[in-house]
């Protein structure tokens, strides 16, 4: 997916580091948010390799599903641009690995990171063999990315499904989005593999967004993905770590996702279990969220039965 010149350029910049953009170079770009240091290239290789190894472990029968705990994250990186903390696009590389090595023809990517996965969308925008579904805070980051009207091009029209959600959506709103859009579209697409770009930055304590998800909410949407994978593709589900910037709360949300993958309850008590704010995040379902879901369903009915 990434150009050879881009890979060589990132390696050379990392060896010089620390380097902060914005940089516009003959082989590509590095934006102002993506800092490169002497360890960045090696870390990015391990992250990309971890995503591909997760796919291999499932396809070769070693595991039923997988959680790949990766850094740096991935979904803003394009073929020749490091963008939004992302160097290599681990999700795109995992999908391409599944196609080239294992011959898969239908791959579903669900991106629940609170920021839009513009790099992943760009990679498969004209590709009917990859269904890209993104749930993200509307009008947030990157600018003008993830609008309903961005549905793919050419043979890929309809295979890009954006679900922009308003601030304050909360657990019930996210669950409704999965039940009303993500799951039925996935059932119609019938993927042979599901990849999740898992940013736990929609949590109510994240400093970079305002979406009010809780540990319980992440467990619920992960369980829906497990059930979809069991129904459609023999349980093959690889969850790839992406964003998440609340050092205190991201581990709880991530543990909840892993619990769903394993089908167990580790007995972890939410860090804020007694707070009224947590209860509100788990129960709110506002008019703005309902309007956004209604609008998304009506729009995507052009390509899917919803």
Listed residue (166, 186, 185, 161) closest to 237, CA to CA: 186
Q: Is 210 labeled as catalytic in the residue annotation?
A: no
CA distance 189 to 100: 20
Contact indicator for 140, 169 with CB cutoff of 8 Å: no
98 vs 27, 53, 92, 180, CA distance in Å?
Answer: 27, 10, 10, 28
Whole-number Å distance between alpha carbons of 240 and 78: 17
Q: Sign of the C-alpha dihedral, residues 82, 88, 89, 93?
A: positive
- Among candidate residues 75, 76, 116, 300, the one labeled active-site is 76
Catalytic residues: 76
């Amino acid at each position: 997916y990434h150009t050879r010149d881009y890979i060589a350029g990132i390696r050379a910049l990392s060896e010089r580091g620390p380097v902060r953009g914005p940089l516009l170079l003959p082989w590509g770009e590095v934006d102002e948010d993506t800092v490169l240091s002497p360890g960045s290239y090696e870390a990015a290789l391990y992250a990309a390799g971890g995503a591909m190894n997760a796919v291999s472990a499932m396809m070769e029968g070693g595991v039923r599903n997988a959680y790949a705990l990766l850094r740096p994250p991935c979904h803003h990186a394009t073929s020749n641009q490091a963008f939004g903390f992302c160097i290599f696009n681990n999700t795109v590389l995992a999908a391409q690995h599944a196609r080239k090595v294992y011959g898969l023809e239908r791959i579903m990517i669900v991106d629940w990171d609170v920021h839009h996965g513009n790099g992943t969308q760009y990679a498969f925008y004209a590709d009917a063999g990859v269904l890209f579904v993104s749930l993200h805070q509307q009008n947030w980051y990157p600018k003008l990315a993830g609008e309903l009207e961005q549905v793919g091009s050419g043979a890929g029209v309809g295979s890009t499904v954006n679900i922009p959600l308003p601030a304050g959506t909360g657990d019930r709103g996210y669950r409704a989005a999965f039940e009303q859009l993500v799951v039925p579209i996935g059932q119609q697409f019938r993927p042979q593999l599901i990849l999740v770009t898992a940013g736990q930055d929609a949590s109510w304590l994240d400093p970079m967004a305002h979406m009010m998800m809780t540990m319980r909410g992440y467990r619920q949407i992960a369980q829906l993905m497990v059930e979809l994978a069991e129904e459609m593709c023999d349980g093959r589900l690889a969850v790839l770590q992406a964003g998440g910037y609340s050092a205190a709360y991201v581990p709880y949300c991530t543990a909840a996702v892993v619990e769903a993958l394993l089908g167990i309850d580790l007995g972890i008590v939410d860090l804020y279990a007694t707070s009224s704010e947590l209860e509100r995040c788990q129960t709110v379902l506002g008019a703005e969220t309902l309007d956004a879901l209604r609008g998304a369903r009506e729009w995507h009915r052009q390509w899917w039965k919803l």
